[in-house]
Amino acid sequence: MGQAPANETRVALIIGNSNYKSAPLENPANDASDLANALEKRGFVVLVRENVGERGLKEAVDVFAKHLKKGGIGLFFFAGHGIQLKDQNFLIPVDIGFDSEADITYKSVSAEYVLSRMAEAGNRVNVVILDACRNNPYQASGRTSSKGLGVMNVGRAEKGTFIAYATSPGSTAADGKGRNGLYTKNLLAALDTGDTDIDKVFGRVRTGVVRETGGAQVPWTSSSVIGNFYFDAAEDLAAMRRPVKPLPVRAEETAAPAAPYNPVEEAAYWEQIKNSRDPADYIGYLEKYSGARRAAYARWMAQKFGGVVPDRPAASANAAQSSQLAMASPGRVSSPSTAVASGAALPSAGTIIRDCQECPELVTVPGGEFVMGSGPKERMREPDELPPHPVRVAGPFAVGKFEITRAQYAVFVRETSREHPPGCHSLNGGRFHKNAKANWQDPGFDQKDNEPVVCVSWEDAEAYVAWLSKKTSRSYRLLNEAEWEYVARAGSTGRRHWDDPEQGAVCRYASVADSSAKRLLPGMPLFPCSDGIEKLAPVGRFPANTFGLHDMMGNAWEWVEDCWNEGYAGAPNTAQPRLSGSCTERAFRGGAWNSGPTTVRSAYRDRESKNERHDNLGFRVARSLP
């Protein structure tokens, strides 16, 4: 198993369903809450859902899968009713009954599907924990469902997967008489015992459950994890840093060290072959990138599909082997030299990137460290901006040079036929009003195509970045809150990214609530200046900050990825989305054309329900590199 980086992303989706409309359960919601707390203490970013229906269950899995693409560790836990039908294990939402097989297969989510989404991420380790083998009310109806859950083939998830069941296949598990279900109670105790090696944790769980049930319930595990994995991030990192005694090497196994390779070119090559079933594709990859982190997986895939792979092909033999394979398999994917120039490196800071004609321009931003939030000297600070804390931002990464425009959004709507129910909020005179007829095409005022799109929800923004990712085969996303504040500050430490502290200077840098908008904003505190623009300005109308990004302050508020949390207590010190808290609400940042002095600040935060729309709220995109 490969080296775990110190800032390795650990994401968990924890679901507990108790309030079924038929056959309710006592403990699963408690199980989810308690396990979420236990995992957060051990370094996981946790998305927790309790009593979710069909829509919420499917949405949670999709959000979880999206964040797993960043790699690292993925963990999925489900407590509630689970049903085995037609060789699949279905996890049941709370809002369906147990009287129709069609309802079960159509409205539920299969555990196998969750496993496949986790496998796509290429994580170091994926952990699936199913406390979903409770007494099956569907079985009582006399229909064809099997008792308990069936074994999932760990091979579907490839290497690095650990699956834990509350009981053995085909059996049912006890729901429990206290706060927690029997299985989860023992899991929580096992995590608190110390030494969180995954095998030892579930060994303790098995012992505890068997003891309490007199052998009637025996927890089951299936694993393809290579090496060690610890639930506690500090233990895991310490284990990875311990020196490993090398195995003796036979003379015939010695070979020249793997040749250096370009990581950008390697990533592009892998994208072309990662779904192939032809062993020659993986062997070809190994000839060029035998020292890459994906090499072990490529060897395994080649062998899985019938290829014969030398354990470590010598660098000096690469050219001859490549020639032989090319003649033997003329359909093999060739090196993607046209996509990435030979010897290319990650783009330097300030590089402009555009992945397609309709795509937004991006600017490459370096990684770094900054203090997030407001310090004691900021007299305008609010409680949810506290405490200030250092954050490390990995980089480089690419950020939209401008907010997404109406023209760019229109392409997305045209290609996806996405529907937008009418209704968009306005803030006038310090009060919110909902215009029942307004939408992104007609927010209630005239707009040009080069102005930021508004009247779009967080869900609309997520759909846009998903479409853009598919269109370009690149990893687009929204900024997380920490990244947003980092790029908004652009190295500054004051209230805003420009140096001039005077309130009247704001109009030179941003479209805000000033005397130009006095007619529309009676009674509101205004900046003592005029930017000459009543509402939204064309993107790029005002100067960029030192990172080359325009309109980070003012013009339109910008949705970010994070669930809403009241302040930074427990926030991580690395830039990552916070996926616990009030996740029906999402954060947005930056101020807008009708925002006054207290809110046009780098540290200021606000929130809204993720399906609501406002005439001053849009978004900006980010993309991982390469």
The confidence band for 305, taking pLDDT boundaries of 50, 70 and 90, is low
Instruction: Give the pLDDT of residue 136.
Output: 52
Question: What is the domain count for the chain?
Answer: 3
Give the C-alpha separation, 276 to 298, whole Å: 11
Among 598, 608, 602, CA closest to 430: 598
The two structure tokens encoding residue 598: 């207290």
Residue 412 CA to residue 408 CA, distance in Å, equals 7
Average pLDDT of span 155-183: 73
User: Average pLDDT, stretch 65-83?
Assistant: 85
**Tens digits of residue pLDDT in 384-412:** 999 999 999 998 999 999 999 999 999 99
Residue with tokens 């999932």: 152
Q: What is the pLDDT of residue 225?
A: 77
HSE value, Cβ hemisphere, 13 Å, CA-based, for 160: 22
Locate all alpha helices (DSSP H) within 193-232, ordered by sequence: 198-213
Question: What integer pLDDT is reported at residue 284 of this predicted model?
Answer: 81
CB–CB of 281/331 below 8 Å?
no
Instruction: Over range 251-271, report the average pLDDT.
Output: 59
Residues 144 and 289 reside in one and the same domain: no
Question: Helix, strand or coil for residue 31?
Answer: helix
Predicted pLDDT of residue 450: 95
> For residue 127, is it within any domain?
yes
pLDDT above 60: residue 605: yes
Residue ranges making up the domain that contains 276:
257-328
- Indicate whether 369 belongs to any domain: no
Question: What's the average model confidence in pLDDT over 490-507?
Answer: 83
Looking at 5-14, 53-62, 167-176, 569-578, which range is the least confident one?
167-176
Residue 364 lies in a domain: no
The answer to whether residues 113 and 213 belong to one domain is yes
Domain check: are 113 and 163 in the same one?
A: yes
Q: What is the pLDDT of residue 503?
A: 73
**Rounded distance between C-alpha atoms, residue 211 and residue 175, angstroms:** 16
Judge if 105 and 200 occupy the same domain: yes
Does residue 142 surpass a pLDDT of 80?
no
* Contact predicate 562/483, CB 8 Å: no
Residue of 246 and 425 predicted with greater confidence:
425
Which residue from 538, 541, 539 is spatially nearest to 507, judged by alpha carbons?
541
Q: In the structure, what pLDDT confidence band is assigned to residue 289 with cuts at 50, 70 and 90? A: confident
Q: What angle do CA 550, 553, 557 make, to 5 degrees?
A: 105
What pLDDT, on the 0 to 100 scale, is given for residue 623? 95
Is residue 257 predicted with pLDDT exceeding 50? no
pLDDT confidence of 147, banded at 50, 70, 90? very low
Asked if residue 46 has pLDDT above 60, the reply is yes
Q: For the chain, give the percent of residues with pLDDT over 90.
A: 41
What pLDDT is stored for residue 170 in this prediction? Answer: 55
176 in any annotated domain: yes
CA distance 582 to 565: 7
Q: E-assigned strands of 192-302? A: 220-223
Please tell me whether residue 30 adopts helix, strand or coil conformation.
helix
- Cα–Cα distance measured from residue 23 to residue 95, given in angstroms and rounded to the nearest whole number: 11
Task: Examine the domain organization and report whether 430 and 281 are in the same domain.
Answer: no
Calpha distance 526→51 (Å, rounded): 45
Confidence of residue 296 (pLDDT cuts 50, 70, 90): low
pLDDT band at 7 (very low <50, low <70, confident <90, very high): low
pLDDT tens-digit map of 92-105: 898 876 566 666 77
Residues 109 and 43 in one domain: yes
Query: Do 233 and 310 fall within a single domain?
Result: no
Instruction: Give the Cα separation of 200 and 423 in Å (integer).
Output: 54
Average pLDDT over residues 256-282: 69
User: Quick one: pLDDT at residue 100?
Assistant: 64
Say if 282 falls within a structural domain.
yes
Return the CATH number at 214. Answer: 3.40.50.1460
Query: Looking at residue 329, what is its pLDDT?
Result: 28
In the predicted model, what is the mean pLDDT of the chain? 80
Q: Is residue 246 part of a domain?
A: no
Average pLDDT for 571-589: 93
* 234 and 266 belong to one structural domain: no
Q: What is the DSSP string of 46-77?
A: EEEEES--HHHHHHHHHHHHHHHTT-SEEEEE
Q: What is the pLDDT of residue 554?
A: 96
pLDDT in the model for residue 1: 37
CA atoms within 13 A on the CB side of 122: 16
| pLDDT confidence band for 145 (50 / 70 / 90) | very low
Longest dimension (CA), the chain: 85
pLDDT for 314 beyond 80: no
Mean pLDDT of 326-351: 40
- Say how many C-beta atoms besides its own lie within 10 A of residue 220's C-beta: 18
303: confidence class by pLDDT, cuts 50, 70, 90: low
Q: In which element (H, E) is residue 240 found?
A: helix 233-241
Whether residue 70 sits in one domain with residue 219: yes
pLDDT of residue 120: 80
What pLDDT does 320 receive? 32
Whether 60 and 206 share a structural domain: yes
- Looking up tokens 């035998």 gives 290
**Per-residue confidence band for 158, with pLDDT thresholds at 50, 70 and 90:** low
Same domain, residue pair 314 and 418: no
Last residue of a domain, one of 193, 211, 239: 239
> Residue 246 above 50 pLDDT?
no
* Between 431 and 375, residue with greater pLDDT: 375
For residue 250, being part of any structural domain is answered with: no
Residue 18 has pLDDT above 80, yes or no: yes
Say whether pLDDT at 595 is over 50: yes
Share of the chain above pLDDT 70, in %: 77
212 vs 159: which has the higher pLDDT? 212
State the pLDDT at residue 260. Answer: 67
Average pLDDT over residues 581-586: 92
pLDDT of residue 385: 94
80 and 19 in one domain?
Answer: yes
pLDDT at 149: 62
Of 205, 239, 273, which residue is a domain's last?
Answer: 239
> Does residue 467 sit within a domain?
yes
